[in-house]
Amino acid sequence: MSSQTFWRSRWLKPAVLLLCLTPLFVLAWLWWNHRLGFNRVEYVARYTGIWTLRFLLLTLAITPLRRLPGLANLIRFRRMLGLVTFLYGCLHGLHYFALDVQWDWRTIQEDLTIRRFFIVGFTALLLMAPLAATSFNAAIRWMGGRRWQLLHRLVYVSAILGVIHYLLQGKSIVITPVIYGVILAVLLLARVVFWFSKRET
């Protein structure tokens, strides 16, 4: 199979989508078979949260990766990955409201006004909402390309807040969120380098 045949395959996008949803299928299987450990509420919260961050970083990785030879067609999957990221983020947030605090509005108000961990995480999710809502061609035409691009730069802020949210989950610094922070820093640096190289040409 040639490279062009591979990228143009009508089965490629459904296959990528199925792959993206596989973590949810795994989580559902673990839940159904009581394999989530003693505190399944905390397990699901961490699971959906980490997959949200992973897909967010993967979405950001599309732009630098597509500049490599033979990978230009990766841009076809950026919108899908962005929407998948928002899906996981919504599930993460819904889990907090519905299962963690069980719609206790007093607790929710306290968490979202006092506790930095929840404030940062909720802000990151809110910033993703307008990006998901305008991730369609009609939105680009309505807003205009320049305004659309400016709005979608919020993804960088959301990613930074997502890493900070992960860092704040524990009482001490652990290595895993630091690794995600380094990955994000590399992805942002790649954009800065490309921007400067583009200006010089």
Q: What is the pLDDT of residues 60-78, one digit of tens each?
A: 999 999 988 888 899 999 9
Listed residue (48, 29, 40) closest to 88, CA to CA: 48
Mean pLDDT for the stretch of residues 47-60: 97
Q: Is 103 left (phi over 0), alpha (psi -120 to 50) or beta?
A: left
pLDDT at 201: 55
Higher pLDDT, 174 or 32: 32
pLDDT at 4: 67
Q: Residue 41 CB: number of other CB atoms within 10 A?
A: 13
CB 124 within 8 A of CB 162: yes
pLDDT at 23: 97
Q: Is residue 81 predicted with pLDDT exceeding 90? A: yes
pLDDT at 6: 75
Question: What is the total count of domains within the chain?
Answer: 1
Q: Is 134 helix (H, G, I), strand (E, B) or coil?
A: coil
pLDDT at 51: 97
CA distance 132 to 52: 14
Q: Which domain holds residue 176?
A: 3-200
Note the pTM of the prediction, 2 decimals.
0.93
CB 70 within 8 A of CB 113: no
Q: What is the pLDDT of residues 134-177, one digit of tens each?
A: 998 888 889 988 899 899 999 999 999 999 999 998 766 678 99
Average pLDDT, the chain: 91
CB 151 within 8 A of CB 130: yes
- pLDDT band, residue 17 (cuts 50/70/90): very high
Least confident of 97-101, 118-122, 148-152, 173-177: 173-177
